[in-house]
Structure 1
Amino acid sequence: MHTLVSHSAMSNIALPMYDLCHPHTRALLEALQAILADHGLRAEPCWPGDDLLNHWQRDDLLLSQTCGYPLMTTLSGVQTVGCFHYLAPGCEGIHYRSLLVAREADRGKALADFRGRRAVCNAVDSQSGYNALRYKVAQLPGAAHFFSHITISGSHRQSLVELQQEKADLAAIDCVTYALLQRDQPALLTGLAVIGQSPLSPGLPLITARQTPAKTVVLLQSALRQLVSDVRYQERCAAALIGGFSPVTRQAYVPLLQWRDEAAARGVTQL
């Protein structure tokens, strides 16, 4: 359901996807709020919590960040604004990848060695945690029903916890999330090892509401370029592992559907 707003209402901005350290996210949003004000756009940082699907579809959404898979499967009404370039290992320009993470005892094994074992995924509509892993599994012979059990954890962070607690054996983890946790919460990676990775795919898109005027989208792109290039905000961007920004269109995310469809053609519609 869309939320109706008056023309005088404050528009919302949020960066919910990599909010692993609230002070870093807040600092980034406050910088963006100031830049947008200079462009004549009034915006208020918001914290959508777990109700992301409703948040992404709000009529007063000026800017947020979503995952590429729901962008292409669920969020037909939103507009794409662009994509940050992240500095995490595994990223190239707007592209990122998933890391296949297991326990230290399985270091040196390949994905094929996990046939019949247990996987944990953050969400079934996640590009990095589900679609990428499904695509990788589908490349293997006899990939249908590859894992013996699938758990949906709710977050990459919780997937790592379940690996540590031996409730699952393998997870696909967004490489940006992995790098942020490695720096800020390294205990979550204790006893774990990276055993593989997915191909590159376009990173998490920045979006705006369907009814945001085209000229406002251009202003948003200008503000985001300033955020990543202005020396005043260099430390805030570095804390979020952000090194650049590029405008992107929805077309850039078509490969995510191709991954899904190729897996389905090989008999793997779900993990």
Structure 2
Amino acid sequence: MASPLRATLSMYDMDGPVRRANDLFWTALARKLRQRGLSVSDGLDRQSHYHAVWSEPDLIFSQTCGYPYVMELRGKVRLVATPIYAFAGGEGTDRASFVIAHENHPGLTLSDFRGARVAINDWMSNSGMNLFRAAIAPLAGGKPFFGSIMVSGGHVASIDAVREGLADIASVDTVTWGLLEMHAPERLAGVRIVSATPRGPGLPFITRGTTSDAELAAIRSALMDVLADPDCKSVLDTLGLKGVAILSDGDYQRLDDLRRQADAQGYTALA
């Protein structure tokens, strides 16, 4: 008998009410999937590295960043749906990033941060790097703009770095910001929003590349049932998740277009 298919929700899985809500969300979705004949795990996989699991053959449900999707995962996974969040910084499935600084920094616009110290969560991050690069490219003139760049390892860590004075500026995911604002506002104390980046399609839910059309339809149907279930409302409210939309691979090409536009301006890497 084959092992149950795995699920991960590592993109937004911060300790406390968000993590508990992720567990309850998966419990509800797993029940709906089993009703449709799919064998799935009881709990979320939090042991595997979030990036590695995206390409695993036993993945039934996960969420990935849009930039790794367009640069690495196209053809290896299938898009399930793209969340629509209730938080500021987006419209529909589109999300911007918030460029943040310490409240005591004198900079008022992005131009004021030339030569600043930057924190990014990951070089392959759409919100932390790709959208940020698109915002800086018109200002950089094809030359390095920042004084230094540190890789924090996560959006919350980037916020911490700015608050603690380890970095002057960072570009952070607006859903992460919204979740902290809702559940842990103390983590945002001393940090302010300078501007918003260009928008692009947000982090999609995905499944393994070998998922059949029938299985994909079942996953989407189960997800829609969870979103419509009144018993799940408090869980969805905790996650700020108010709906989903079905986007195509072509919709995500916009994220690569932003990279190409920065390249055309001579700003091929955030620097």
What letter corresponds to residue 255 of structure 1 in structure 2? Answer: R
Aligned to 1:183: 182
227-236 or 254-263: which moved more? 227-236
Quote the residue 2:94 is aligned against.
95
Q: Which residue of 2 aligns with 1:74?
A: 72
Cα distance in 1 between the residues matched to 2:2 and 2:256: 38
The 5-angstrom pairing of residues 258-269 of structure 1 reads: 258-269=257-268
Q: TM-score, normalised by structure 2?
A: 0.94
Once the two structures are TM-superposed, the CA of residue 108 in structure 1 deviates from its matched residue by 6.4
Would you say 1:209 and 2:203 are equivalent positions? no
Contact 1:12 1:63 in 2 (8 A): yes
| Aligned position for 2:10 | 16
Instruction: Report the equivalent of 1:65.
Output: 63
Residue equivalent to 1:233:
232
- Contact kept, 8 Å, 1:107 with 1:195, in 2: the verdict is no
Kindly state the Cα deviation for residue 226 of structure 1 after the two structures are TM-superposed: 1.2
Q: Report whether the alignment pairs 1:25 with 2:46.
A: no
Report the equivalent of 1:144. 143
Q: How does 1:109-120 map to 2 (within 5 A)?
A: 109-120=108-119
Structure 1 runs (4+) deviating above 4 angstroms are none
Superposed displacement of residue 144, structure 1: 2.0
Structure 1: 5+ residue stretches without partners: 1-6
- 2:7–2:60 CA contact under 8 A, matched in 1: yes
Instruction: Report the Cα offset of residue 199 of structure 1.
Output: 2.0
> What SS does the aligned partner of 1:74 have?
helix
CA displacement 1:11-33 (0-9 Å, x = unmatched):
11221111113211111111111
Q: Secondary structure at the match of 1:195?
A: strand
Following superposition, the deviation at residue 90 of structure 1 comes to: 1.5
1:158-191 alpha-carbon deviations (Å, 9 max, x no partner): 0011101111111111111001011212121111
Instruction: Tell me the distance in 2 between the aligned counterparts of 1:16 and 1:141.
Output: 33
Other structure's SS at 2:80 match: strand
The residue identity in structure 2 corresponding to 1:56 is W
Matched residue SS, 1:147 = coil
Q: Which is worse superposed, 11-20 or 41-50?
A: 41-50
1:79 CA displacement:
1.0
SS at match of 1:225: helix
2 CA distance for matches of 1:93 and 1:136? 21
Q: Is 1:47 matched with 2:45? A: yes
Shifted more, 30-39 versus 40-49: the winner is 40-49
Could you list the per-position Cα deviations for residues 232-271 of structure 1 after superposition, in whole angstroms to 9, with x for gaps in the alignment? 1111111100000112221111010011111111111111
CA RMSD of the aligned region, Å?
1.4
Comparing 49-58 with 76-85, greater Cα deviation is found at 49-58
SS at match of 1:222: helix
